Amino acid sequence: MSTFQEEKILSSPYHDFNREEWKELNGHFNHSLNADDIDQMHALNEPLNTEEIEEIYFPLAHLIELHINHYEDIRNASNNFFDRNQQKLPFIIGIAGSVAVGKSTTARVLQKVLSFLPNKPKVSLVTTDGFLYPNKILSDRGILNRKGFPESYDTKKLLNFLTAVKSGISTHIVPVYSHLEYDILRDDTILIQNPDILIVEGINVLQVNSQKGQSNKVFVSDFFDYSIYVDANEEDIITWYINRFESLRATAFQDPNSYFHKYANLTLEGSKEMAFQIWNEINKPNLHNNILPTKYRADLILQKASNHFVNNVKVRKL
């Protein structure tokens, strides 16, 4: 092993906690969740139970509460310094990670448990899927097969939204993406109004690579007050992706209105082969070139084991 490699192992900008260590950090956070709550939070083929929420997300909510309190202290001190009464702005949390790693479940669980904090904050959730270009634009540009890559997002619209949030504008209309239709819904939107906490979830939220021909000086992550990367071994993510594809083939893809209805009659073996092909052609290069390199830009990394439950947490040192 080279000296450089040894230094990388010995010196890390993160505190490292295994699951047993992490769950002991929850000093006071204690709430009850029922089966309906859990059913609404987890995604297809992603197991979730009260143990995972209590041992992983309760301590995480407690940690984020510390950051929110510090954020508010700084705002109050700034108001005193400038002799102004700047309104309270939303605390924004970014959640990144690979396709099929479980970002959506993490975002929904975090939204729920943060709403349990003592001051009962209003927690809103936005996914960057809504800021993808419509399929027509992607097709016209010849990049429909690169959906999820940086160039497939209307980054300007996303940045404008985040700028408005951090400028004190209270009401926002956010576009909606349909996984069934595989496209932006023209006649559907989400209303985001006066959140105390805003969670922004998407594979691209920590990326800083500019689109071709552009030189961005502002990035999505510049607006985050805290950022989380959901991580797992690639072999596990591939397995989860293939299993999810097969589950969708047997359910959602059977709907004639589904963009992926063309896969509805695949055999089990054919479904696995198609999913693996899509992974290798689209999701793998996007993961390696655009998503994975952003991992160490996060304030906190949730590392999942092959059973989809978190077994390690890395927290950036202060």
E-strand spans in the chain? Answer: 14-18, 91-97, 123-127, 171-178, 183-193, 197-201, 226-232, 300-304, 310-316
Tokens 């054919």 identify what position?
Answer: 270
Q: Is 101 annotated as a binding residue?
A: yes
Q: Is 215 annotated as a binding residue?
A: no
Q: How far apart are CA 174 and CA 130, in angstroms?
A: 7
> Helix 58-82 crosses helix 103-114 at what angle (to 10 degrees)?
60
Dihedral (C-alpha) 64, 69, 70, 71: value to the nearest 10 degrees?
90
DSSP assigned state of 315: E
Q: How far apart are CA 87 and CA 258, in angstroms?
A: 44
Q: Is 124 annotated as a binding residue?
A: no
Q: Annotate 124-156 with DSSP letters as a single string.
A: EEEEGGGGBPPHHHHHHTT-GGGBTBGGGB-HH
Q: How far apart are CA 233 and CA 231, in angstroms?
A: 7
List Cα–Cα distances, 266 to 180, 239, 245, 274, in angstroms.
Answer: 18, 18, 11, 9
Residues facing residue 224 across a β-bridge: none
Q: Is 213 annotated as a binding residue?
A: no
Q: Is 313 annotated as a binding residue?
A: no
Q: Is 142 annotated as a binding residue?
A: no
Tokens 């809103």 identify what position?
Answer: 124
Q: Is 200 annotated as a binding residue?
A: no
- Cβ contacts of 70-74, under 8 Å, gap ≥ 24: 71/225
Q: Is 78 annotated as a binding residue?
A: no
Q: Which residues are annotated as a binding site for ATP?
A: 97-104
Q: Which residues are annotated as a binding site?
A: 97-104
